[in-house]
């Protein structure tokens, strides 16, 4: 039986490029076959706004649509059709992760199903929590071998990931690319919570920018360095990684930046003062990520947290990732005009 789905329709010549963008940005709806409509191809997508955002940046001509799609054969079925109650899971390299549910029997059944559906998956874990300052996932092995080190492909880049020692979220792929598009050649960029280097290395692939990636977790910095080296041949920008506490960064380095990425959504707001002291003279932008409930007044909270003596404008919050039924991660652009040398 066919399935009605939101979709995106593109010229045949752009189909391969669009498929890569949708896959890397986690916007492709799995289990449904692309469809030919006259001289165009339609892909079923999971989120219309995410798709629009990804494709607007790519320069490809596209149309958002709604149509019926044929399902792939059994091995590509959506998990929810096989195991009711478990709808989605993340794939990081050759590891799959399901969000924890109390029913261990259900999780184990889902894990077996995932391995059957994706022969390249070597381990399936349930994630129970994200812990501590380093934001490390707490995982229970459900099926396969206990391996947490893997290589993950994102936006044409390769990343060493170690789920036991450093944070990584494949759902940020589209956001890494979106921010990279907002950086210009020659920019001085600070990636204040770089983790394994996702934003920094995506930016360096697109732009001749000078980028500093900072993280408090030494092992994340070790992986970020390795990730820089395995991708070096295709990078245009210059990246340096540094282990440091970003709350003290303004006391440690003399560098100034015109773009600052603050992607530590549970804590970012507390680091705004340090970020202010690291801005170049002139116009600068801070990309701030916050975890908030749907009804909270994010703008008031942010405006109240900015203590720098510069004029600033806070943009509209943009939802990046749904975290739970009531909480989401939002990105807010803060544009600052630095009039005095900090």
Three-class secondary structure of residue 122 per DSSP? coil
Closest to ligand SAM by CB, 199 or 330: 199
* In the complex, least distance from residue 90 CB atom to ligand SAM, rounded to whole angstroms: 13
Closest to ligand SAM by CB, 69 or 199: 199
Could you say which residues in the range 140-179 bind ligand SAM, by CB under 6 A? 167-168, 172
**CB under 8 Å to 49, separation ≥6 — which residues?**
none
CB-count burial class (<10 Å; 0-12, 13-18, 19+) for 100: middle
Three-class secondary structure of residue 218 per DSSP? helix
Closest to ligand SAM by CB, 27 or 114: 27
Span of 101-109, 214-222, 309-317, 330-338 interacting with ligand SAM by CB under 6 A: 214-222
Could you say which residues in the range 179-198 bind ligand SAM, by CB under 6 A? 193-195, 198
* In the complex, least distance from residue 104 CB atom to ligand SAM, rounded to whole angstroms: 28
Closest to ligand SAM by CB, 155 or 194: 194
* Rounded alpha-carbon distances, angstroms, from residue 336 to 15, 206, 209, 259, 330: 40, 24, 20, 10, 19
Binding map of ligand SAM across residues 115-134, x = CB under 6 A, - = no contact? ------------------xx
Helix ranges (DSSP H) in 183-295 = 198-206, 218-231, 249-252, 272-276
CB 241 within 8 A of CB 217: no
- Report if residue 242 touches ligand SAM, rule: CB under 6 A: no
- Report if residue 25 touches ligand SAM, rule: CB under 6 A: no
Query: Per the structure block, which two tokens stand in for 307?
Result: 């203590």
What count of other Cβ atoms lies within 10 Å of the Cβ of residue 132? 9
Closest among 281, 292, 289, 278 to 334, alpha carbons compared: 289
Closest to ligand SAM by CB, 6 or 255: 255
Closest to ligand SAM by CB, 110 or 192: 192
- State the Cα–Cα distance between residues 107 and 83, nearest whole angstrom: 9
- Report if residue 220 touches ligand SAM, rule: CB under 6 A: yes
* In the complex, least distance from residue 2 CB atom to ligand SAM, rounded to whole angstroms: 37
- State the Cα–Cα distance between residues 128 and 100, nearest whole angstrom: 5
Rg (Cα) of the chain, in Å, rounded? 21
- Report if residue 228 touches ligand SAM, rule: CB under 6 A: no
DSSP one-letter code for 74:
G
Closest to ligand SAM by CB, 86 or 235: 235
Span of 121-129, 182-190, 239-247, 296-304 interacting with ligand SAM by CB under 6 A: 239-247
| Interaction site with ligand SAM (CB under 6 A) | 133-135, 167-168, 172, 193-195, 198-199, 214-217, 220, 245-247, 263-264
């Amino acid at each position: 039986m066919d399935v009605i789905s939101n979709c995106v329709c593109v010229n045949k010549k752009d189909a391969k490029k669009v498929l890569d963008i949708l896959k890397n940005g986690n916007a492709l709806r799995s289990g449904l076959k692309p469809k030919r409509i006259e001289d165009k191809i339609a892909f079923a997508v999971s989120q219309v706004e995410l798709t629009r955002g990804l494709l607007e940046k790519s320069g490809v001509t596209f149309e958002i649509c709604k149509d019926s799609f044929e399902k792939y054969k059994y091995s590509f079925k959506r998990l929810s059709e096989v195991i009711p109650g478990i709808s989605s899971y993340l794939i990081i390299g050759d590891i799959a992760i399901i969000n924890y549910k109390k029913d261990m029997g259900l999780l184990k059944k889902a894990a077996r199903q995932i391995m059957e559906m994706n022969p390249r998956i070597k381990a399936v874990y349930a994630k129970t929590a994200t812990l501590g300052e380093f934001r490390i996932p707490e995982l229970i092995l459900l099926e396969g071998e206990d391996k947490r080190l893997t290589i993950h492909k994102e936006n044409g880049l390769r990343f060493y990931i170690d789920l036991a020692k450093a944070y990584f979220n494949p759902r940020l792929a589209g956001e890494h690319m979106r921010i990279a598009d907002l950086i210009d050649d020659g920019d001085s960029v600070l990636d204040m919570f770089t983790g394994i280097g996702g934003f920094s290395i995506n930016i360096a692939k697109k732009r001749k920018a000078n980028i500093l990636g900072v993280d408090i977790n030494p092992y994340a910095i070790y992986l970020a360095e390795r990730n820089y080296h395995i991708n070096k041949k295709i990078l245009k920008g210059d990246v340096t990684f540094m282990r440091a506490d970003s709350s003290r960064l303004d006391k440690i380095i003399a560098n100034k930046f015109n773009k600052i990425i603050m992607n530590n959504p549970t804590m970012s707001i507390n680091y705004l003062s340090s970020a202010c002291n690291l801005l170049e003279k002139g116009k600068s932008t801070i990309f701030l990520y916050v975890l908030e409930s749907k009804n909270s007044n994010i703008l008031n909270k942010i405006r109240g947290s900015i203590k720098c003596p510069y004029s600033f404008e806070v943009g509209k919050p943009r939802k990046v990732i749904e975290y739970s039924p009531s909480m989401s991660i939002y990105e807010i652009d803060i544009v600052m005009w630095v009039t005095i040398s900090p």
